[in-house]
Each structure stands twice: as structure tokens, then as C-alpha cells.
A and B are shown apart, each in its own frame.
Chain A
Amino acid sequence: MNPADESRTAKALAQEIGEICSKTSGPLRFMEVCGTHTMAVHAAGLKSLFPDNLFLVSGPGCPVCVTEKRFIDEAMLIGQQHDACMATFGDLVRVPGSFGSLATFRSEGGTVRVVYSPMDAIDIAAAVSPRPVVFLGVGFETTIPTIAATLKTALARGTENLFVLPAFKTIHPPLRILAAKEDLHGFLLPGHVSAIIGSDSYEYLVRDFRKPGAVAGFEALDILLALRDLVRMAVDKSPAIINDYKRVVRSEGNPVARAVVDEVFEVSDASWRGLGLIPGSGLALKGPYARFDAAKSFPVEVPEAKDDPRCLCAAILTGAKTPDRCGLFGKECTPEDPVGPCMVSSEGTCAAYYKYGAA
């Protein structure tokens, strides 16, 4: 589409959203679960098109934001004590732990390799053998199969010096917790996670919580379309799960990808920054793949990490508060000097607020 038609389409959708929202007097609050949606919403300046009573709050779908400080601390200790080379997605490089970030670790002589694909970590392992290479395993359902496939390849090739520090998360357990919140009227559901788990997997939102959900793509118009469907379902009190990203997401998801995951991982509990321990929300390496677990292969004494008590990331991650309500925001907490994870991650709510602002 040309830019003129794109903006005409946006105008039409925004107008429709405005008309539906005007039928209700109270506020309508939806959560965009996925951090890439957060980024897209801000990058397109979508909020400037919303009516006054429509609010979009960010959810927990930002791997960096929900990863605990302890994870970074553990990674750095393994790196320091075992001369391990860190392989990571770029997302994690600037995330502060209790004693600095991977960027600090690198400035002190540690090796940090930023990869595009976890498969690149196999090549790095071959190049630096016998030094251990530790891949920092963060991510949700979209990323987890790529890690599982990488470990399958490593096992088949007999790669001995590659390890993963697992902090993987799955989206349904926290979503169930959030769906129970009275003041959230529906969910903008993550497009690429849904490509793996399928749009049918969200039925419980409607069945158990009477909340609508719309699976959305990542272009500005995709998000507007899904929002239109969400406000309509909320105002009409007719909750359903609508798949507005049918070009990519099948109702059953991608069973091949899920089978690879089941071969390598088993369900475990996981700690979420801001949400605490959520049973069944994590994944652990199993069977022949357990030997890739960096935490088990390189046990280190990780001191208890303390979060700055003034940081509101926990409330922000659950949509209870917006960044501008935090006393640290933009003053002591900025992207280059982040206090909390929502500012560190480029797709964190605070970073997006800070970077794109409201204009």
C-alpha cells in the first residue's frame, strides 16, 4: 500500500474505534501482551489516534523485562569463574544485574558475542573450543523451538562445549493471572507466539474469564484492526478470540515446532520479575539435553539480588501502572542508565515511553 492509502486506512479504523468507544462512558483498558507490539504501537504513534477513554497497557511479553536480575548475575559469575564465552541475543547486553551488565562484563575483558540465531552459537563453540560457550536462554514460545532445534543439532554433532542458561517462559500461565483482573477488558494477543501455540489455545480467556482477545500482526494497521475488534467485543459484551493475523497464525499453531520443544524441554516453574514465581510457566532441559544446562554444569554461588524498592517495573509489567507514574522515570532511570528492566529492554514499556514519548 502507498503511504497515502495507509494513512487513509488508519484514519478509517481510528474513526471506527472512536465511534465504538463513544458508546460507553467508562474507560476501556486493553493489554498488549507482546513487547514487539509495544514497540510498534509507539513507533507508529498510534496512541495519538486513540479516543480519550481508550487505554492500552503493556503486558509481560518482553523476555528481558521479566528476566530476573539473578539470571544476569549468574551468567556473569559463570563467565568470570569458568572463562566462558557468552553468546546472546542483542536484547540482553545492557540489562543490569547486581554488579553490572554484560556490557560491563565485556569492558572488563569478558567475551560477549551477539548472535542473530542461536545456531550461530554452535559455530562460536567450534571456534573457541574447548572454552565453554554459554547461550543466554531467554524467550517465549516463538524463540524456544529455535533453541530446542539448536540443541538437537548440537547433540547430533557432538558439540561438547555449548551450554544454555535457561530462563524460558510461556505466556498462558501469566495471562491467566492477568485475565482475572477486573480492570482489563481484553487482550491484544502476540502474533508470533500464536504462530506456534495457535489461536485456539486462548479459548480459556472467553470460557473462564469472559474476556475478548485478538491475535494481531505487527504493522500499525494490523494493530488498529485488532483493536477495533477488541473494543467492539468489549462494548457489545460479546467476548471471543478473533484471529486478525490469519496470514501467519493457524488456529492449531505449528505442531511441528511444538514437537521439537517437547523432545528437548519439560514444563517447570519459573520466576518472573514483577510477577514472582508462577507454577508451570517455565521450561527445563530434559533427558539427554540436561547436559546442556549451564546452571547445572557450572554451579556458582549467586548472592541474593535486591531490586531498587522505588522501581515500579513490577506494577508496570502487570498493567497496573504506567511509566509516568514512577518517580525514577526519565530522571534516575533512562535507557542508558536503567534502574529497572522495563527501561533496559528496547521493547520495555518504559523504554518505549521514553524513546517515542507522547507528542
Chain B
Amino acid sequence: MARKPDTRILLGHGGGGRMTGRLIREMILPKLDRGQLGALPDSVVLSGLGAAIAYTTDSFVVSPIFFPGGDIGSLAVHGTCNDLACSAARPLFLSLGLILEEGFPMDQLETILRSISRAADEAGVEIVTGDTKVVPKGSADGIFINTSGIGQINGSVRPSPEKIAETDLILVSGPVGNHGMAVMLSRAEFSFDFDLKSDSASVWPVVERLMELGDGLRFLRDPTRGGLAATLNEIAHMTGKEIRVDEAAIPLDESVSSASEILGIDPLQAANEGKIIAVIASDKGQEALDLLKECPIARGASIIGEITSTNLSRVVMTTRIGGSRVVSEPSGELLPRIC
């Protein structure tokens, strides 16, 4: 009895885990890949244009639209800037596509546009083209946003999975899970008060500093949907190597850790919107941390693990009490576990 094919799209298909992977591999790529798409980069370095240009696109459908530490507007700027930054490209230009539901409050739209404007100014990008559509009531959840971005690559640092080698270190630029937890706690069904904010931010300042490591900077990824667990598994699959991480070294804010215990959710699977996972050469660990010292959005950066010589595409964690276990790929929608 083979797996029954999905006849409908489920929310889990958008969770950034295995279901998303299957949808892309089995449904989308076979029809569209002409060579560059199959590598599934967050952003692509366009060839044949003279300069080295990185290009990416991302859609934003977050619920709730407003959450502590940001809103769908600032997220739409940061998310696309961060995909460019992971190609070591300085974000320069964004397009902005708005899909608005009939009846959406004008004052909320204004708030979101101001937030987009502020985030773009802070990130040093300009909105240069756009589009607006309105759909009948019930056809969308208030507002959806798509942004595409163009960035420029200067210098010779080109992080890519091929550069990852045994003994390389894994660095995370700060505490994980803040965005996913802040959004989860803000949902209408839950009545929590909390001083926990999304980490939504442009990570370009972090990347720019890490680029000083030159060839010591092997690879960059922003651990968004599926969180740290998804990104580490992705790196393990790309390299075919076992990754070892140390649970005690993974930075977690107390509020995130509390919220994850209350809701029974693994913080390693919760999304981040202002963090970088960097793979760096084994002799560059301290230097990387020193470079990030003065960077406010890399507060609490930490070396959490390394690439081993074992040829098993998996992530193994040494737990706080000295046990070890596999960190598996998140499989779909994050759900609180209570009973």
C-alpha cells in the first residue's frame, strides 16, 4: 500500500518541513526546473548580466497580521532582504505586491505601509516597483504580501554548500525561536501576556561582518520556517555529513523556553526572522564571535556544533544531561501539545 497522494493542499504543506519538501519535489520542480531552480536556493545569483546580482522572492501570509516586534509589513521587507543576505548579497531593491481582502481596514493598511517604509529605510533598501489587487471578502485573510528583491554581490566571498568541510563549525547569531513563539502566543485563541518579541530584522549587518572571514565563511542560511531543526537538517542533507550540536550551547531566551514548555512546542522548530546560521572554518570560531560582538542583532551569538566526518546525513544533539539523540526535521504545522 503506497502512500496515498494528497488530493488537497493542507496547512502542513506550508510548514517548511517534509510536506513542503514533498510538494516542491513532486509537484512543482518537475514542471518548472530548467537548471537553476533544482538547487532550491533561497536566492539565486543571476548569470550573464555582467555584475553579480542575487534575486529572490517570498510571500507573507502571517496570522496574526500584527505581532509583538513587528507586523506582516516589516516581515515582508526583512524576509526578502535576509534571503539575499544569505547569498552574501547586499539587499538594494524590492518589489511590493499587495493582495487585499475587501473590507480590510484602511487604518491597518496605513500602519502596515508605514512599517514597510521604516523597515526598508533601516535595511537600506528601496521599494522600486509594486502591484495592488483587491479580492472579494472571504478570498483572503485580510492582507497577503509578496516581495521580490535584488541584491548586489561585491568581493569574492560566495558562500555555498560545496564549501562546507569536515570539522567546520556551526554558528548561530543569537537566541532561537523568538518569532515563532511570539506569533504562536499572539493567536486569538490563547490569552497570554508576554514580554517576548519577534526577532524580525534584516541580518545583512551580521553577514557583512562575517564576510571578513573570507574563505573561512563557508555557508549561510536564515532559519525561518521549521527553525533551527529544519536548517541543520538541510545542511546535513546537502553535505551528506552528520552534524553534532550541543544542546547547552544553543542560545534560548527564558521567555521562549517558558512558552515552549507551556505549549509543548520544541523551540528548535519555531521560526526565526532575524537570525543567521553560518558554517565557518574550524579555526575561525573565536574570530567570528569577536566580529559579531559589536552587532546588536547578533546578541548571544554562539558556536553550537560542528560538521563531523561521519557520512550520515543527520543531526545529532548532545543533550544537557550528556545523552544523545537525533534532531529530526520538523514535519509540518506546529501544534500545542496539552493533554
Contact = CB atoms under 8 A, between A and B. Distances in A.
A332 B319 contact: no
B319 A220 contact: yes
A49 B319 CA distance: 11
B2 interface: yes
A107 interface: yes
B196 interface: no
A3 B10 contact: no
Nearest to A46: B323
Contacts of B331: 334-336
B325 A91 contact: no
Interface of A: 3, 6-7, 9-11, 42-49, 63-64, 89-91, 93-94, 103-104, 106-108, 113-116, 120, 124, 138-140, 142-143, 220-221, 224, 308, 332, 334-337, 346-347, 354-359
B258 to A, nearest CB: 14
Contacts of A357: 314, 325-326, 328
Interface of B: 1-3, 8-12, 17-19, 189-191, 248, 262-264, 314, 316-328, 331-333, 335-339
Contacts of A334: 18, 331
B10 to A, nearest CB: 5
Nearest to B192: A116
Given A91-B339, A116-B263, A103 B333 contact: yes
A134 B328 CA distance: 34
Contacts of B2: 332
A43 B325 contact: yes
A138 B339 CA distance: 7
Contacts of A103: 10-12, 333
Contacts of B11: 103, 106-107
A114 B326 contact: no
A93 B333 CA distance: 10
A106 B318 CA distance: 38
A359 B325 CA distance: 5
A359 B316 contact: yes
Given A103-B10, A107-B9, A336-B17, A116 B323 contact: no
A114 to B, nearest CB: 6
A308 B4 CA distance: 13
Contact of B323 (A45, A108, A114, A355): A45
A49 B339 contact: no
A120 B189 contact: yes
Closest 9 CB pairs of A and B: A45-B323, A90-B335, A357-B326, A45-B325, A10-B321, A90-B336, A139-B339, A336-B331, A3-B248
Given A9-B321, A94-B335, A220-B321, 20 more contacts: A3-B248, A7-B321, A10-B323, A45-B317, A45-B324, A90-B263, A91-B339, A93-B333, A93-B335, A107-B11, A115-B189, A116-B189, A143-B338, A224-B321, A308-B1, A336-B18, A355-B328, A356-B327, A357-B326, A359-B316
Contacts of A346: 264, 335, 337
B321 A221 contact: yes
Nearest to A140: B339
Given A107-B11, A334-B331, A357-B325, A347 B320 contact: no
B189 A113 contact: yes
22 contacts: A43-B319, A44-B321, A44-B323, A45-B319, A46-B323, A63-B339, A64-B339, A89-B336, A90-B335, A103-B10, A104-B8, A116-B191, A120-B190, A120-B191, A224-B321, A332-B3, A334-B331, A336-B332, A346-B337, A358-B326, A359-B314, A359-B316
A108 B11 CA distance: 11
Contacts of A47: 323
A138 to B, nearest CB: 6
Interface of B is mostly: loop
Given A45-B324, A90-B335, A107-B11, A114 B319 contact: no
A48 B336 CA distance: 27
Given A139-B339, A346-B264, A108 B325 contact: no
A358 B2 CA distance: 26
Name which of A116, A120, A143, A359 has the most chain B CB atoms within 10 A of its CB: A359
B8 A107 contact: yes
Contacts of B19: 336
A3 B251 CA distance: 13
A116 B328 contact: no
Contacts of B332: 94, 335-336
B319 A44 contact: yes
Given A44-B319, A89-B338, A332-B3, A116 B325 contact: no
A120 B188 CA distance: 10
A118 B14 CA distance: 28
Contacts of B17: 336
A172 B331 CA distance: 34
A143 B339 contact: yes
A104 B86 CA distance: 35
A108 B264 contact: no
Contacts of A48: 323-325
Nearest to A113: B189
A341 to B, nearest CB: 14
A64 B338 CA distance: 11
Contacts of A114: 189, 335-336
Taking each of A91, A94, A355, which has the highest tally of chain B beta carbons within 10 Å of its own beta carbon?
A355
B326 A356 contact: yes
A49 B2 CA distance: 37
A355 B263 CA distance: 18
B326 A220 contact: no
Contact of A42 (B190, B263, B325): B325
B323 A90 contact: no
A346 B337 CA distance: 8
Contacts of A10: 321-323
Contacts of A335: 331-332
A246 to B, nearest CB: 21
A90 B338 contact: yes
Nearest to B327: A356
Nearest to A310: B1
A272 to B, nearest CB: 15
Contacts of A46: 321, 323
Of the candidates A43, A63, A224, A354, the one having the most CB atoms from chain B within 10 angstroms of its own CB is A43
Contact of B337 (A104, A347, A358): A347
